[in-house]
A and B are shown apart, each in its own frame.
Chain A
Amino acid sequence: MLDASPTQNTLLEVNNIEVLYNHVILALKGVSLGVPKGGITALLGGNGAGKSTTLKAISNLIHSERGEVTKGTVIYDGQNVVGLDPADLVKMGVVQVMEGRHCFEHLTVEENLLTGAYTRRDGRAAIADDLELVYQYFPRLKERRKSQAGYTSGGEQQMTAIGRALMSKPSMILLDEPSMGLAPQLVEQIFEIVARLNSEQGVTFLLAEQNTNVALRYAHTGFILENGRIVMEGSAKDLRENPDVKEFYLGMSDKGRKSFREVRSYRRRKRWLA
């Protein structure tokens, strides 16, 4: 919503990282990005562009998929976090909400949320307070707290996943495609809550999205990834108004259908940018 310029502090800095899956597949070819503290940063791009890989490289969940960061650094709060355990990162305040929600199906909604507090050592009372806070943001979850998560709707599962991440008291949430498989109205609702969490609780968000339209409306800054490279970056406002983004990501063009030659020229420009 706000297009205020990002705060000066950078909470997370990704420097030129390369990610290799299975020792052969090069998924990221030198991605660099900075996430300002207290902002919402969108990571945009099509299928297979490397959005999820970037997030998993930051949270180090990539190890469990046989991937590794072979080059570059990830600096969080002044510390290189490449190669740390995901659990360490959660303790430091970085938690990822994975694509496709990944709720614990046979656990109840409330148990799901409580599992999010696994790394915390500040006592039951504090955890109970935060559970109430999550229920305040997601009243729907309170109604369904005793149902098995596997039997809740897609939107409720997405809320559970975000709520679960919140339970670890994070300073930063890596949110991977929250809009996936949800009705437009629900997507709007989820993003609304993300924006509120950002402004009221001060949680920094780095969110990967395919839904460029929604993401750029709620984010403050954005990066566009293609083929494992950042091809464009800027404030959300600039990106929204950029003619290339408009045409290729938002599907808007005032000149009607473009010819193939012009598309090629766009590609050339992109290569240059990369």
Chain B
Amino acid sequence: MPDTLLFAMEATLNGLTAGVMYALVALGFVLIFKASGIFNFAQGVMALFAALTLVGFQSGQIPFSHLINAMFGTRLHHFGWNMPTLLAIPATVVVMILLAILVERFILKHLVNQEPIILFMATIGLAYFLEGVGDIMWGAEVKALDVGLPKGMSMAVDEMTFNWFGYGFYIDRLELWAAGIAAILVASLTIFSQYTKQGRALRAVADDHQAALSVGVSLRFIWVLTWSIAGIVALVAGIMWGSKSGVQFSLSLIALKALPVLILGGFTSIPGAIVGGLIIGVGEKLFDFFMQPIIGGATENWFAYMLALVFLLFRPQGLFGERIIERV
């Protein structure tokens, strides 16, 4: 088999796994957008906040210790007890649910019936607020996140492909795990929204919130529910990205990569977010692979946005965006 083809295949595989990571972030956006028509600017920061909290719990840090020390002259830093990962993850989930309740209580409740743009602006505020709170709570330094997921080259893939093609592909094991976890996440979300009462109510609210109100669905509860789910998805994204590149402020910028994914897949479609992520991931890697000799490197930085632009021109609702049903 010619080398170019082999390299292209490896690039494609790498693109697929990278795409899953993008999709994980995009998923959180879709959930909130679908249920409440809000583009949640804070989704990236939520992932950062979740990862920070998780690391904080794991390393037994005392929240707000810097603030407490500065105010009272104490020297508190650690509880002296490191929470095991299996406990720290549920604890972080609880924190994300609390966050959802607070968001509903202090922001959404007061902005009922406002224009989407006002709610969007509120989420920008929330993003900055959360970023600040994350800093004060857990400190601003870069932290390593390790939840016990395997990292590094996957030997199995390497061996298998070597036996087949005489050339071993390099695939990061972490990204393989991410793909598996994303699959489980999407499957459970689908089951939840299709087959449970609350899931049905969630879709009902997404379709027509007034009608949902009229049959007795509590919008406030549904909002807390969606933001909680989005928080949990943010936690998963935060774990994956945090394990990959450390927990630091730049983690919140992964939200930017989610934008082209959303434009491609459609803002309202969960499968769309996944497929969009995969297309962006593969597109990036292949474009870079074939165009690098011609126009030089670093195309990964802009390719996704270019693709999004083309999509905006020809198919603004995205590949899987919900068609607007219009009866004639």
Contact = CB atoms under 8 A, between A and B. Distances in A.
B317 to A, nearest CB: 14
Contacts of B200: 107, 111, 114-115
Given A102-B211, A115-B200, A91 B216 contact: yes
A103 B208 contact: yes
Given A91-B216, A106-B325, A107-B200, A64 B113 contact: yes
Contacts, number: 90
Interface string A148-176: 10110110000001001101100000000
A64 B217 contact: no
B213 A95 contact: no
Nearest to B207: A104
B208 A105 contact: yes
A115 B217 contact: yes
Interface in B79-117: 112-113
B181 interface: no
Contact of A64 (B112, B201, B204, B207): B112
B4 interface: no
Contacts of A65: 113
Interface residues of B, number: 23
B75 interface: no
Contact of A87 (B210, B217, B322, B327): B217
Interface string B201-234: 1011011111111111110000000000000000
Given A64-B112, A66-B113, A102-B208, A107 B218 contact: no
Given A90-B216, A115-B217, A150 B211 contact: no
A116 B203 CA distance: 13
A106 B203 contact: yes
A95 B325 contact: no
A116 B213 CA distance: 10
Given A114-B200, A115-B200, A64 B213 contact: yes
Nearest to A88: B216
A106 to B, nearest CB: 5
Interface of B: 112-113, 197, 200-201, 203-204, 206-218, 322, 325, 327
Given A104-B212, A114-B197, 6 more contacts: A61-B214, A64-B210, A86-B216, A115-B201, A119-B216, A168-B215
Please provide the 4 A-B residue pairs with the shortest distance between their CB atoms, ordered closest to farther.
A90-B216, A150-B325, A102-B211, A119-B216
Interface of A: 59, 61, 64-66, 85-87, 89-91, 95-98, 102-107, 111-112, 114-116, 118-119, 148, 150-151, 153-154, 161, 164-165, 167-168
9 contacts: A64-B210, A64-B213, A95-B216, A102-B208, A104-B208, A114-B197, A115-B201, A119-B215, A151-B325
